[in-house]
Amino acid sequence: MSELRWDPLKLHWVIIATERGRRPRDFQVEREHNGMTACPFCYGNEDKTPPEIFAIRPSGMPNAANWRVRVIPNKYPALRVEGQAGSRGYGLYDVMNGIGAHEVIIETPDHNRSMADLAVNEICDVLRAYRARYLDLRKDFRLRYMVIFKNHGLRAGATLHHSHSQLIAVPLLPPVAATELKVARTYFGTKERCIFCDIIDFELREGQRVVREFPNYLTMTPFASSSPFELRLFPKQHSHDFALMNDAQLSELAMALKDMLLRVKSVLLDAPYNFILHTAPPPHHRPGKPGHWGSLEYDYHWHIELVPRLTQTAGFEWGTGFYINPTSPEDAAQFLREAEV
């Protein structure tokens, strides 16, 4: 079983994923698989993956070769569902059992189309699969947070070429989510407004970091982008929980997401990227009294963050926690805004 270990100097958790147990030489052969025949995510190879958890298909049996989107457990999971989340001490350190979930969302049966190439209704199917998995995993009270993310390209951490996203559910509130929730709560505490709503409002008035506006969504470059051409995609109306979006809302989101991915592909010549869906923790792990003034429904705002992997983080970033970004967010927004998509 994987172990979560606490670093008492850096104050963060690390997952020691012993299932992978990689030795020195294993790191030398790391490269992207692109062989059509061997791809476990293609039609006809459904038996090469663990049995599916969820799928969108016209009709028929699970694991049959007629799906549009397919969700499977990761074959080498960072965290497993079995076991209890018990924690224990060891000298000055703390250790926790690595329970959780690690799933793969195969976005298309087509081996060679990236997410940007999918039709809007196909991307909408992927978003519906995200929503379904969020709603299902919330029933497991041991899971404190779920994060859905996508690694596109080898340099962004994708070891399989066939387009897919991942979901990892963890038994602790992760630091990035904890900071966002705390920030949102503090801001609401003094202003009784959502900080995300205020940022959206400010950026729409300023305009120079806006990339594209849809009736209900906004794509923009963050004022303090930590790397070049970073993007955030917000619903313009306040909404704390991605899983509560209805089909019409997901359909427009699919349009905005495709637009964002196409701009990145066009301006940055299909650069590798990561995107992350930031949303509220499951209802029973939310701070505040649900439905009451001052609860998380009022102060948090879900969004998608996209980070193209154009530069290497290096010793300075690792050693300080500061980031150096050689392209101003205003310039980046202009390039992305003017892209032909």
Residue 292 is among the residues annotated as catalytic for this protein: no
What DSSP designation does 55 have?
Answer: E
As a residue count, the chain comes to: 341
Give the nearest distance from C-beta 19 to a copy of itself in angstroms.
Answer: 8
> Which amino acid, 214?
F
Minimum CB separation from a copy of itself for residue 65, in Å?
28
Nearer to a copy of itself, 61 or 224 (CB): 224
CA 287/CA 283 separation, integer angstroms: 9
Distance CA 40, CA 198 (A): 45
Structure tokens at 95: 């250790």
DSSP 143: -
The rounded distance, in Å, linking the Cα atoms of 329 and 122 is: 30
CB nearer to a copy of itself: pick between 47 and 331: 331
**SS3 (DSSP) at 311:** coil
Provide, rounded to whole angstroms, the least separation between the CB of residue 331 and a copy of itself. Answer: 7
- The C-alpha atoms of residue 54 and residue 202 are separated, in whole angstroms, by 40
State yes or no: 162 annotated in a binding site. Answer: yes
Name the E strands within 107-246: 145-152, 164-170, 210-213, 217-220, 231-235
CB of 48 to a copy of itself, least distance (A): 22
Least distance in angstroms from the C-beta of 273 to a copy of itself:
9
Angle between helices 247-267 and 120-137 in degrees, nearest 10 = 120
From the list 102, 152, 161, 164, the catalytic residue is 164
Give the residue with the Cβ less far from a copy of itself, 59 or 320. 320
**Cβ–Cβ under 8 Å, residues 99 and 83:** yes
Closer Cβ to a copy of itself, 38 or 176, answer by number:
176
DSSP 8-state code for residue 280? P
Closest CA to 73 of 98, 97, 99, 54: 54
Least gap, CB of 190 to a copy of itself (angstroms): 12
According to the annotation, is 102 in a ligand binding site? no
Provide the CA 177 distance to its chain's centre, in angstroms: 12
What is the token pair recorded at 87?
């924690």
CB nearer to a copy of itself: pick between 1 and 119 = 1
- What is the CB-side half-sphere exposure of residue 282 using CA atoms within 13 A? 21
Question: Cβ-count burial of 25 within 10 angstroms (0-12 exposed, 13-18 middle, 19+ buried)?
Answer: exposed
Instruction: Count Cα neighbours of 194 within 13 Å in the Cβ-side half-sphere.
Output: 20
Identify which of residues 202 and 293 has a Cβ nearer to a copy of itself in the complex. 202
33 assigned to a ligand binding site = no
194 is in an annotated binding site: no
Binding residues for Zn(2+): 39, 42, 111, 162
Binding residues: 39, 42, 111, 162
Looking at the annotation, which residues are catalytic? 164
